[in-house]
Amino acid sequence: MLNIDQAAQNLSSYSARYQSLRNIFGVFQQAIETSNKAQFPVKGISVNTDSHTTCHVQFLDRRYVVIFTVANDQGAQMGKISMCREHGDGTRDKTDIGGVTFNGQGILDIQQPVGADAMMLNDDTTCIKLLLNWLVKDVSA
């Protein structure tokens, strides 16, 4: 069992890592909010960033929730963003439509072609691309 100082130090470290990852999710939230603007090329997407850990998206009378969590990957804390359908009664599908994990620098776990730069969540284009691809995946299923 950890003593109080060790436990407090571990929890403080976890808290700082969580906040860092949550801030990266905030960048994602701001980027996908651009789909609400009139000049956005796809009409009918509505995004509501109503909390620090979720976004609600509506498209074609379908409701979705985008959720931020922290996942452990071989002992390392990674941010995770996943999207699933949400029903009128507030229940959610158990299966995610899409999801990615990212490290503390915002680098996504998506494999890129050899020589290509890593995909990062600090790029609005990448964030929008994720959202649109998840919507396409659900609508075309």
Taking only the tens of pLDDT, the chain with its 141 residues reads 989 999 999 999 999 999 999 999 999 999 999 888 888 889 999 999 988 999 999 999 999 999 999 988 787 899 999 999 998 887 888 889 999 999 988 989 887 777 777 788 888 889 999 999 999 999 998
In 3D, which of 28, 35, 17 has the Cα closest to residue 54? 28
Residue 58's Cβ-count burial label (10 Å; 0-12, 13-18, 19+) is: middle
pLDDT value of position 110: 83
pLDDT value of position 140: 92
Domain region containing 8: 4-139
Integer Cα distance of 52 and 55 in angstroms: 8
Do the beta carbons of residue 101 and residue 82 sit within 8 Å?
Answer: no
Residue in the block written with tokens 């789909």: 35
| Phi/psi-derived region of residue 89, left when phi > 0, alpha when psi is between -120 and 50, beta in every other case | alpha
User: How many domains does the chain divide into?
Assistant: 1
> What is the CA angle 22-63-128, rounded to 5?
50
What pTM was computed for the model? 0.87
Sequential DSSP letters for 75-114 = TEEEEEEEEEEE-TTS-B-SS-SEEEEE-TT-BBS----T
Q: What is the DSSP letter of 34?
A: G
Give just the sign of the alpha carbon dihedral 34, 39, 42, 43: positive
